[in-house]
Every structure is written in C-alpha cells, then in structure tokens.
Structure 1
C-alpha cells in the first residue's frame, strides 16, 4: 500500500465530474481503494474520494469513528468503499453541520445538507449496497459524493461568513466534522 498525494482546492481534478468505474473488481481499483484507505487514515479523515488523490473515478472510502457517531440511528461504521454511488435526499429536513476537507486543509465551514439520504452503489467486491443514512454518515456520504461531481463544500455554503480556520472553530466550540 502507498500514501497518495491529496489534491488541494484549486487543482482542476477537484472541479470535474468523475468517470464511472467499469470494473470494481479490477486489480487497479482494489489497489486504489487500499491506498485511499491508508491515505485517509494517515490524514485523519473520515472519507476520501478518488478525485482527491488525482484519480477522476467515481469511488470513495469512508468510515464513522465512534467519537463521531450520534447514537443508534448513526452508529460507528467500519471503513468501506462505495463505487458509482447514487445519493438521494429523503424528505425536506435539512441539517447544517461544520465540515472540513482534506483538500482544503486548515479550514471548515457550516454546510446545509439533507438530513436523511438513501445511498446506493457497489462495494469493493462489485456487490450492490444500499441503505439510509442520517447524522455524520449522511454528511460524509454527501460530502464525498460531491467530490465525484466536482463540488467542494464551500460551494454549498450560503454564508461564507461561516467559513473559518480549524483552530478558531475548536477554540470557540463551533463543531467538528471532517
């Protein structure tokens, strides 16, 4: 496995729609997933999309650490990959959470997103997966899926006055989500 270089805001790969993965079980996809997981852990992230490591394909990895779980409806989740995902909002409820991004180091901001979503796609074995998500999992799935469509979280912020440095958010107890 290898640590991959993370693209930072301003790199064109982060602004493009990623291509579908034709064969999720291909060896290069399996290696990519393993390397993305190692990179995500090394960077202390909760998710990482392939475009963030300069690979414009529709795949991301994610997990929900126990510290970020909000209970029974949003339990901790082990590391997983989602390939060719489809994320669909369920209902009209919106939740605003503080998000950070490995491609925008040192900053975070308040981002409104649908509070409940349905997700579908393929796992790393090419098997269909689906479910519903709320809480931190819903945020991570939507955030990483946005990367596959060339969207960074500041593009979702209606008020850029709520964009700030990590240290200030932590100092003033304004919330944490990466």
Structure 2
C-alpha cells in the first residue's frame, strides 16, 4: 500500500473529537509512509487532515472539481492538486490513485463516496479495502442500519463484512493492510 483515499466532511462537526481523529489519522498515515489522496479542499476535516499530513512531512494529493476551485475552497499548498471537470471525474481519479479507502465523519457527499467504493468492491470492480473510522460512535447508526439490511435479506453477510470498521486509526490502517495479505 502506498496511498489511502480519505473521504471526510467539508465541515468540522460539533465535536472536537472529529478534528482530533483527522489529525490522528494523518499521523498514522505518515507513520506508515502512506500518501493521502483526498478531495482537495482547505475547509473542514478535509483541510485539517491535509494540513496535518503536510506538517508531518507526508505527501498529499488533492482532486477537486473546477467549480469548487472557483468557490475558493481548493487547498493550494499540497504536494499535488488535480483540477478536474466534475464530481464523477474527481471520484474516478481519487479511486485510481489510491490503494484503499477510509471514511472519517462527514455528510451526504462522504457517504455517497463511501458507498460507491463499497459497491464497486462488492461488484469486484476493484479489490481495494474500504473502512470506516468510527469516531466517538459517529457511524454506529449506519452500522446498525447495515446489520438491519442483512437481517432483511438485502445485503449478504459476506458483502457486509467487506466494510472494515474501527474507532482507532492505527487499527483501521492495519486492517486495510491485512486486506492485501
């Protein structure tokens, strides 16, 4: 593994634990010599994790649609910044540049990106691990809902098991790395 794509909020959320988790994940990424691939923003948890990886001497690649650059949310102090035409191109490029995916807390966009990559893994369009960093129980409701979808016969247990989960960044990275062994 060389690069991890991190999906996360363009806001910081109401709990300081979310920003702390972004900084912690940044430290673990750098400690494992893993590059960060992310959405290229300078706001919210996106900006926090990118700034921390850069501060610690790691490499950060951002991928951002032109429309968001125009709204002045692009992080211009990254190792690399790709400006693309739209969100579809953004997601495809981020997926092609990384070796695995992690979702920190975030909103609809974070969930959409997470579920698209999980769906692609389920359909074997890629073989990259997908994980949730469940900060302070942020994703407990989602995990319970996925358990419910299994019980209701809409999600196979084997597909549910594809989503790696941990409340600890180091543990989650080790789970992602184990996916390749």
Same fold (TM over 0.5): no
Q: State TM-score, norm by structure 1.
A: 0.29
Q: State TM-score, norm by structure 2.
A: 0.28
Determine which structure has the larger helix proportion and give its number.
2
